[in-house]
A and B are shown apart, each in its own frame.
Chain A
Amino acid sequence: GAVVSQHPSRVICKSGTSVKIECRSLDFQATTMFWYRQFPKQSLMLMATSNEGSKATYEQGVEKDKFLINHASLTLSTLTVTSAHPEDSSFYICSAADQGGSGANVLTFGAGSRLTVL
Protein backbone atom coordinates (compact mmCIF):
# COMPACT_ATOMS: atom_id res chain seq x y z
CA GLY A 1 0.00 0.00 0.00
CA ALA A 2 0.89 3.66 -0.23
CA VAL A 3 3.38 4.85 2.36
CA VAL A 4 4.16 8.41 3.43
CA SER A 5 7.29 9.02 5.43
CA GLN A 6 7.80 12.05 7.63
CA HIS A 7 11.08 13.19 9.13
CA PRO A 8 12.01 14.04 11.79
CA SER A 9 9.49 12.44 14.08
CA ARG A 10 10.55 14.68 16.94
CA VAL A 11 12.48 17.93 16.98
CA ILE A 12 13.34 20.36 19.73
CA CYS A 13 14.65 23.78 18.82
CA LYS A 14 15.38 27.11 20.38
CA SER A 15 13.10 30.05 19.88
CA GLY A 16 14.03 32.06 16.82
CA THR A 17 15.50 29.19 14.84
CA SER A 18 13.98 27.53 11.78
CA VAL A 19 12.98 23.91 11.49
CA LYS A 20 12.42 21.87 8.34
CA ILE A 21 10.09 18.87 8.22
CA GLU A 22 10.14 16.51 5.26
CA CYS A 23 7.26 14.52 3.84
CA ARG A 24 7.98 11.83 1.28
CA SER A 25 5.72 9.52 -0.68
CA LEU A 26 7.74 6.32 -0.80
CA ASP A 27 6.06 4.21 -3.43
CA PHE A 28 3.92 6.60 -5.38
CA GLN A 29 4.01 10.03 -6.90
CA ALA A 30 2.03 12.80 -5.33
CA THR A 31 1.46 16.03 -7.19
CA THR A 32 -0.38 17.27 -4.14
CA MET A 33 0.46 16.88 -0.49
CA PHE A 34 -1.22 18.36 2.53
CA TRP A 35 0.06 19.73 5.80
CA TYR A 36 -1.97 19.61 8.98
CA ARG A 37 -1.42 20.85 12.48
CA GLN A 38 -2.79 19.10 15.52
CA PHE A 39 -2.93 20.76 18.91
CA PRO A 40 -3.01 18.59 22.04
CA LYS A 41 -6.29 16.74 22.39
CA GLN A 42 -7.61 18.49 19.32
CA SER A 43 -8.42 17.49 15.80
CA LEU A 44 -6.36 18.04 12.69
CA MET A 45 -6.51 21.41 11.01
CA LEU A 46 -5.48 21.73 7.39
CA MET A 47 -2.74 24.32 7.08
CA ALA A 48 -1.92 24.23 3.42
CA THR A 49 -2.00 22.30 0.19
CA SER A 50 1.41 21.70 -1.32
CA ASN A 51 1.46 21.62 -5.10
CA GLU A 52 4.38 20.16 -7.00
CA GLY A 53 6.09 22.81 -9.08
CA SER A 54 3.93 25.67 -7.92
CA LYS A 55 3.10 27.72 -4.88
CA ALA A 56 1.33 26.20 -1.95
CA THR A 57 -2.22 27.14 -1.15
CA TYR A 58 -2.67 28.23 2.45
CA GLU A 59 -5.76 28.03 4.54
CA GLN A 60 -7.19 31.16 6.01
CA GLY A 61 -5.30 32.32 9.06
CA VAL A 62 -2.10 30.42 8.28
CA GLU A 63 0.93 32.66 7.84
CA LYS A 64 2.65 31.68 4.63
CA ASP A 65 5.81 33.53 5.60
CA LYS A 66 5.95 31.60 8.86
CA PHE A 67 5.24 28.21 7.37
CA LEU A 68 7.20 27.86 4.14
CA ILE A 69 6.22 24.97 1.93
CA ASN A 70 8.29 23.64 -0.94
CA HIS A 71 7.16 20.80 -3.19
CA ALA A 72 10.13 20.44 -5.50
CA SER A 73 9.52 16.90 -6.67
CA LEU A 74 6.69 14.43 -7.08
CA THR A 75 7.72 12.60 -3.94
CA LEU A 76 8.87 15.30 -1.55
CA SER A 77 7.27 18.24 0.19
CA THR A 78 8.94 20.22 2.96
CA LEU A 79 7.48 22.44 5.64
CA THR A 80 9.82 24.97 7.20
CA VAL A 81 8.74 26.69 10.37
CA THR A 82 10.66 29.94 10.30
CA SER A 83 11.71 31.88 13.38
CA ALA A 84 9.93 29.37 15.54
CA HIS A 85 8.36 30.43 18.81
CA PRO A 86 6.90 28.36 21.65
CA GLU A 87 3.38 28.85 20.28
CA ASP A 88 4.48 26.98 17.15
CA SER A 89 5.00 23.86 19.24
CA SER A 90 2.61 21.30 17.87
CA PHE A 91 2.22 18.02 16.06
CA TYR A 92 2.54 18.47 12.30
CA ILE A 93 1.21 15.79 9.98
CA CYS A 94 1.47 15.51 6.23
CA SER A 95 -0.60 13.46 3.84
CA ALA A 96 -0.73 12.62 0.19
CA ALA A 97 -3.18 10.99 -2.18
CA ASP A 98 -2.06 8.27 -4.54
CA GLN A 99 -4.03 9.45 -7.49
CA GLY A 100 -2.44 7.09 -9.94
CA GLY A 101 -4.02 3.89 -8.71
CA SER A 102 -7.09 2.40 -7.13
CA GLY A 103 -6.39 4.43 -3.99
CA ALA A 104 -7.48 7.63 -5.66
CA ASN A 105 -9.17 10.06 -3.36
CA VAL A 106 -7.85 8.34 -0.26
CA LEU A 107 -5.20 10.08 1.76
CA THR A 108 -2.22 8.37 3.30
CA PHE A 109 -0.86 10.12 6.35
CA GLY A 110 2.65 10.38 7.62
CA ALA A 111 3.44 9.46 11.20
CA GLY A 112 3.71 13.09 12.20
CA SER A 113 6.43 15.36 13.53
CA ARG A 114 6.36 16.64 17.11
CA LEU A 115 7.89 20.13 17.26
CA THR A 116 8.84 21.60 20.60
CA VAL A 117 10.14 25.16 20.66
CA LEU A 118 11.94 26.14 23.83
Chain B
Amino acid sequence: AQSVTQPDIHITVSEGASLELRCNYSYGATPYLFWYVQSPGQGLQLLLKYFSGDTLVQGIKGFEAEFKRSQSSFNLRKPSVHWSDAAEYFCAVGPNYGGSQGNLIFGKGTKLSVKP
Protein backbone atom coordinates (compact mmCIF):
# COMPACT_ATOMS: atom_id res chain seq x y z
CA ALA B 1 0.00 0.00 0.00
CA GLN B 2 1.13 3.52 -0.71
CA SER B 3 1.82 5.54 2.38
CA VAL B 4 3.87 8.29 3.91
CA THR B 5 5.11 8.08 7.47
CA GLN B 6 6.29 11.01 9.51
CA PRO B 7 7.40 9.34 12.76
CA ASP B 8 7.59 12.49 14.82
CA ILE B 9 4.26 14.11 15.68
CA HIS B 10 5.80 17.04 17.54
CA ILE B 11 9.37 18.32 17.71
CA THR B 12 10.71 21.19 19.79
CA VAL B 13 14.06 22.75 19.00
CA SER B 14 15.86 25.82 20.25
CA GLU B 15 16.24 28.77 17.96
CA GLY B 16 19.53 28.50 16.12
CA ALA B 17 19.72 24.74 16.50
CA SER B 18 19.69 22.37 13.56
CA LEU B 19 16.58 20.53 12.50
CA GLU B 20 15.79 17.27 10.81
CA LEU B 21 12.25 16.10 10.12
CA ARG B 22 11.88 12.51 9.07
CA CYS B 23 9.81 11.15 6.23
CA ASN B 24 9.56 7.59 4.99
CA TYR B 25 7.39 6.44 2.16
CA SER B 26 6.05 3.28 0.66
CA TYR B 27 5.35 3.54 -3.03
CA GLY B 28 5.17 1.17 -5.95
CA ALA B 29 7.45 3.17 -8.20
CA THR B 30 9.85 6.05 -7.98
CA PRO B 31 7.66 8.86 -6.75
CA TYR B 32 7.76 12.59 -6.83
CA LEU B 33 8.49 13.82 -3.31
CA PHE B 34 7.45 17.05 -1.65
CA TRP B 35 7.69 18.93 1.60
CA TYR B 36 5.04 21.48 2.47
CA VAL B 37 4.71 23.85 5.41
CA GLN B 38 1.43 24.97 6.93
CA SER B 39 1.06 27.84 9.37
CA PRO B 40 -1.98 27.78 11.67
CA GLY B 41 -5.21 28.32 9.75
CA GLN B 42 -3.37 28.60 6.47
CA GLY B 43 -2.98 26.57 3.34
CA LEU B 44 0.14 24.74 2.33
CA GLN B 45 3.29 26.29 0.97
CA LEU B 46 5.73 24.23 -1.04
CA LEU B 47 9.17 24.15 0.54
CA LEU B 48 10.88 21.90 -1.96
CA LYS B 49 10.38 18.99 -4.29
CA TYR B 50 12.30 16.10 -5.75
CA PHE B 51 11.55 14.84 -9.21
CA SER B 52 14.85 13.42 -10.43
CA GLY B 53 18.56 14.13 -10.58
CA ASP B 54 20.57 15.35 -7.62
CA THR B 55 19.22 13.65 -4.54
CA LEU B 56 19.95 16.66 -2.34
CA VAL B 57 17.45 19.36 -3.12
CA GLN B 58 17.41 22.91 -1.91
CA GLY B 59 14.23 24.71 -1.08
CA ILE B 60 13.00 28.02 0.18
CA LYS B 61 13.70 29.48 3.62
CA GLY B 62 17.00 27.64 3.90
CA PHE B 63 15.52 24.15 3.90
CA GLU B 64 16.97 21.16 2.12
CA ALA B 65 16.01 17.52 1.80
CA GLU B 66 17.82 14.40 0.73
CA PHE B 67 16.22 11.56 -1.19
CA LYS B 68 17.62 8.19 -0.17
CA ARG B 69 16.14 5.50 -2.35
CA SER B 70 17.65 2.63 -0.36
CA GLN B 71 15.98 3.90 2.79
CA SER B 72 12.78 5.15 1.14
CA SER B 73 13.33 8.38 2.96
CA PHE B 74 13.13 12.08 2.18
CA ASN B 75 14.18 13.86 5.35
CA LEU B 76 13.95 17.62 5.66
CA ARG B 77 16.79 19.58 7.21
CA LYS B 78 17.70 23.10 8.19
CA PRO B 79 21.05 24.03 9.75
CA SER B 80 19.74 26.85 11.94
CA VAL B 81 16.09 27.18 12.90
CA HIS B 82 14.37 30.54 13.23
CA TRP B 83 11.37 31.26 15.44
CA SER B 84 9.32 31.90 12.31
CA ASP B 85 9.85 28.28 11.25
CA ALA B 86 7.36 27.11 13.89
CA ALA B 87 4.59 25.45 11.87
CA GLU B 88 3.28 22.10 10.70
CA TYR B 89 5.34 20.28 8.10
CA PHE B 90 3.93 17.74 5.69
CA CYS B 91 5.79 15.26 3.53
CA ALA B 92 3.97 14.08 0.43
CA VAL B 93 4.51 11.69 -2.44
CA GLY B 94 2.91 11.62 -5.85
CA PRO B 95 3.03 9.60 -9.03
CA ASN B 96 6.03 10.03 -11.24
CA TYR B 97 4.29 10.84 -14.49
CA GLY B 98 3.39 13.96 -16.32
CA GLY B 99 0.16 15.63 -15.51
CA SER B 100 -1.73 16.63 -12.46
CA GLN B 101 -0.49 15.93 -9.00
CA GLY B 102 -3.73 16.06 -7.11
CA ASN B 103 -3.48 12.53 -5.91
CA LEU B 104 -0.67 13.27 -3.52
CA ILE B 105 -0.41 11.13 -0.45
CA PHE B 106 0.37 13.19 2.61
CA GLY B 107 2.00 12.20 5.85
CA LYS B 108 0.23 13.12 9.07
CA GLY B 109 2.54 16.02 9.63
CA THR B 110 5.13 17.05 12.17
CA LYS B 111 4.50 20.07 14.33
CA LEU B 112 7.60 22.12 14.93
CA SER B 113 7.88 24.33 17.99
CA VAL B 114 10.83 26.67 18.42
CA LYS B 115 12.12 27.68 21.86
CA PRO B 116 13.67 31.14 22.19
Contacts and interface: CB of A to CB of B under 8 A. Distances in A.
Nearest to B98: A105
B90 A95 contact: no
Interface residues on A, range: 20 to 34
Interface in A79-118: 91, 93, 95, 97, 99, 104-112, 114
A46 interface: yes
B10 to A, nearest CB: 10
Contacts of B107: 43
B102 A32 contact: yes
Interface stretch (B15-23, B44-52, B70-78, B79-87): B44-52
A6 interface: yes
Interface in A13-60: 32-34, 41-46, 49
A106 B102 contact: no
B98 A34 contact: no
A104 B46 CA distance: 14
Contacts of B101: 97, 105-107
Contacts of A41: 109
Given A93-B44, A105-B99, A112-B41, A43 B90 contact: yes
A107 B104 contact: yes
Nearest to A59: B103
Interface in A59-87: none
Nearest to B32: A105
Given A42-B108, A43-B90, A105-B51, A49 B44 contact: no
B108 A104 contact: no
B98 A114 contact: no
A42 B88 CA distance: 10
B89 to A, nearest CB: 11
B90 A112 contact: no
Given A44-B106, A107-B46, A109-B36, 4 more contacts: A43-B106, A46-B103, A46-B104, A106-B46
Interface of A: 4, 6, 9, 32-34, 41-46, 49, 91, 93, 95, 97, 99, 104-112, 114
**Top 9 closest A-B pairs, CB basis?**
A34-B102, A109-B43, A109-B44, A43-B106, A111-B43, A112-B43, A43-B108, A32-B100, A44-B106
